[in-house]
Structure 1
Amino acid sequence: MSDPLAPERMAATHAAAFSQSRPWSAAEIAALLDSPLIFAAGDERCFALVRVIADEAELLTIATDPAHQRQGLARICMAGCEAAARERGAAEMFLEVAEDNAAAQALYRACGFAECGRRAGYYRRAGAKAADALLMRKALR
């Protein structure tokens, strides 16, 4: 049986989910997963990559294949990565999300994240104005 979290499968899901921005390649994902500080949660339908350093976790990305959206997979994946981050000693988790990504913001708020900052013009958009990044935080303990 093939690994459902193989970098190639993750890259295909990321490309399907991030059609408006540059998706991450299998090589980029594999390089991240080579770090003992980074782990993946989920499966080929929906996965997350998280980095834990000391007592802080950072959601690097979460991607749901469009064919599997609106099925609760992202919430399940978020719960799984939060539990795994806690097991690795994280007391809080951070993430950033584009200010114009209402669906992702709704997911994160439903999972208990709250806005804690902003990075102006962080997300560059081809042919459009750059979007701010909203920084969000959640206590894990």
Structure 2
Amino acid sequence: MCPADTPLNPKNLSLLWASPDRAEEIAALHAQLFDPAWDASSITESIEHPASASFIAQVRDPRSLAGFIIGRIAADEAEILSIGVAPEWQRRGVGRQMVEGLVRAARRAEVKRLFLEVATDNTAAVALYKSLGFKKAGTRNGYYQRAGSEKADAVILALGL
């Protein structure tokens, strides 16, 4: 395996449509990354929704779930509901490839704008989204509940497609 700061070779990563049979695996990763976490039934409900545009990122060697992105398309807008990258694959281009995959799917669906919310203190994610062209569209004060700490603000970001 490559050192953690080495970009992942895109040929070693597959973006696959998320399916209910992977919900337990996605939920386990979600629980590693978020508190409160979504359970497998919430993941299944989200990816089975008729407007879902959700993917998993799977590394070929060693074969493992590197990440997930759960999105939803409604008319000419789309939203990233949740995105996560396994700790061992963070900062290696997986998140970027998942967002770019969702952008391609949204464009095919003739979406005009893609939205997401991210904690203002998640500087790595904010930097990624801004590097992809997302712009600030608003703020949600106290949006994220965190166990054992104060609520965190969210910045709403939008990308024109």
Q: So what's the TM-score if we normalise by structure 1?
A: 0.89
1:63-101 deviations in Å (ceiling 9; x for gaps): 100011121010011100110111122111000011111
Matches within 5 A, 1:11-50: 11-18=27-34, 21-43=35-57, 44-50=65-71
Indicate the larger mover: 63-72 or 125-134: 125-134
| Match for residue 103 of structure 2 among 82, 95, 108 | 82
The correspondence for 2:142, drawn from 109, 121, 138, is 121
* C-alpha deviation, 1:125, in angstroms: 2.3
- For structure 2, which runs of at least 5 residues remain unmatched after alignment? 1-15, 58-64
Partner of 2:81: 60
Q: Give the alignment partner of residue 130 of structure 2, picking from 95, 106, 109.
A: 109
- Segments of 5+ residues of structure 1 without an aligned counterpart are none
Q: Partner of 2:30: helix, strand, or coil?
A: helix
Aligned to 2:114: 93
Identity over aligned pairs, percent = 40
Q: CA deviation at 1:4?
A: 8.3
1:14 deviation in Å? 1.3
Distance in 2, matches of 1:60 and 1:88, equals 17
| Aligned-residue CA RMSD (Å) | 1.5
Distance 1:16 1:81 in 2: 23
- Give the Cα–Cα distance (whole angstroms) in 1 for the partners of residues 107 and 140 of structure 2: 26
Cα deviation, residue 126, structure 1: 2.7
CA distance in 1, matches of 2:17, 2:132: 24
Pairing 1:7–2:28 present: no
Q: Secondary structure at the match of 1:106?
A: helix
Name the larger-Rg structure.
Answer: 2
In structure 2, the CA distance between the partners of 1:127 and 1:12, relative to structure 1 (3 Å rule), is: closer
Shift, 1:17, TM fit = 2.3
Aligned residues between the structures = 136
Alpha-carbon distance in structure 1 between the residues aligned to 2:147 and 2:29: 22
Q: Residue 36 of structure 2 contacts residue 146 of structure 2 at CA under 8 Å; is this kept in 1?
A: no
